[in-house]
Amino acid sequence: MTQRKDERVDLGQKLQEALDSGLLDSATLARECGVTRQAVYGWLKTGRVAKEHLPVFSRLSGKPLEWWLKSDVSNIEHESPANSPAGAYNPPPALEKALTGVSVRPIVTYESLEELPKESTVLVTRIDVELSAGNGKETWHIEEREPLPFQADYIRRLDAKPKDLVAVKVDGDSMEPLLFDDDTVIVNRADTRVPANGKVFALVYAGELLVKRLFRMPDGGLRIVSDNPKYEPLLVPANHPEYVSIIGRVKYRSGMGDF
């Protein structure tokens, strides 16, 4: 009886270590196990976890089932991160402060996309607009570039299917202070409905790939607005929808901002 109690406490401690080190995320763990976040907190407190959840623990953390089942506790920080794909992707820092409510992940370098673990990585295609001239007429088309890697658990939070996501580079200062030159935004191509109250979208206008705030006008037209007040808004009449091609709504921004 005492041995079973020790094992439950040990399992709860291991789960806490995995969460603290960044190998696991409580929201993702709850969703993948089909339980509430309160249930995860219960696991941490009591150490009582149904055995059917342990394969999920192993898959998400990269730790083998044996690590979760063995009775002795080995600190994650002292184990080699190269032992698992998830560990290689999220190596624990040598010195790490305990920050309540803050998730800290180290920066990882890689030589090629093939080095990243497929089970914890989502590749988002980067796009640009290419102009071409033929028969005296200038046309444009979407050109795909090398994809950018993102962690799968982070992409899940965007409430979008990975296949619908593309990355777009911000050019210029027209969307400051929201977006800055050379920022990268993730765009959901499945979300192209422009609301009356305005949201940020990637679009093609006059052969240029832009990131702007769009408003649907009462007559069905579009108002294209830059957050930077030094740029005048553009109006697209309802009877000329061909002037604009909406790629999708911006879901995420990455960049150095005004640092």
For 32-66, how does the pLDDT look when each residue is reduced to its tens digit (9 = 90+)? 888 887 788 888 888 888 877 888 888 888 888 88
For position 47, which CATH number holds?
1.10.260
Angle between helices 2-21 and 54-61 (to 10 degrees): 30
| Claim to verify: residue 132 and residue 54 sit in the same structural domain | no
Residues 86 and 155 in one domain: no
User: Is there a single domain that holds both residue 250 and residue 124?
Assistant: yes
Q: Does residue 13 sit in the same domain as residue 53?
A: yes
Q: What pLDDT, in 10s, does the model give residues 76-126?
A: 333 444 444 444 444 444 434 444 555 555 566 667 777 777 777 889 999
Spatial contact of 248 and 164, defined as CB atoms under 8 Å apart: yes
* Residue bearing the bigger pLDDT, 99 or 75: 99
For residues 244 and 131, state if they share a domain: yes
Give the per-residue pLDDT at 170.
92
Q: What residue numbers bound the domain in which 224 lies?
A: 120-254
Instruction: Answer whether 233's CB lies under 8 Å from 185's CB.
Output: no
Q: Let me know if residue 259 belongs to a domain.
A: no
Judge if 140 and 229 occupy the same domain. yes
Report whether 181 contacts 171 (CB < 8 A).
Answer: yes
User: Do 168 and 94 fall into the same domain?
Assistant: no
Please tell me the distance from the alpha carbon of residue 125 to that of residue 85, in angstroms, as a whole number: 22
| Res 96: pLDDT | 41
pTM summary value: 0.58
- Do 49 and 14 contact (CB within 8 A), yes or no? no
Residue 117 has a pLDDT of 77
C-alpha torsion angle, residues 78, 84, 88, 94 (rounded to 10): 0
Question: Rounded to an integer, what distance in angstroms lies between the CA atom of residue 227 and that of residue 210?
Answer: 13
Query: For the range 97-105, what are the long-range contacts, defined as Cβ-Cβ under 8 Å and sequence gap of 24 or more?
Result: 98/20, 103/22, 103/25, 104/22, 105/22
Helix (H, G, I), strand (E, B) or coil at 11: helix
Is a pLDDT exceeding 70 seen at residue 146?
Answer: yes
What's the confidence (pLDDT) of residue 69? Answer: 76
Tokens of 199: 């949201």
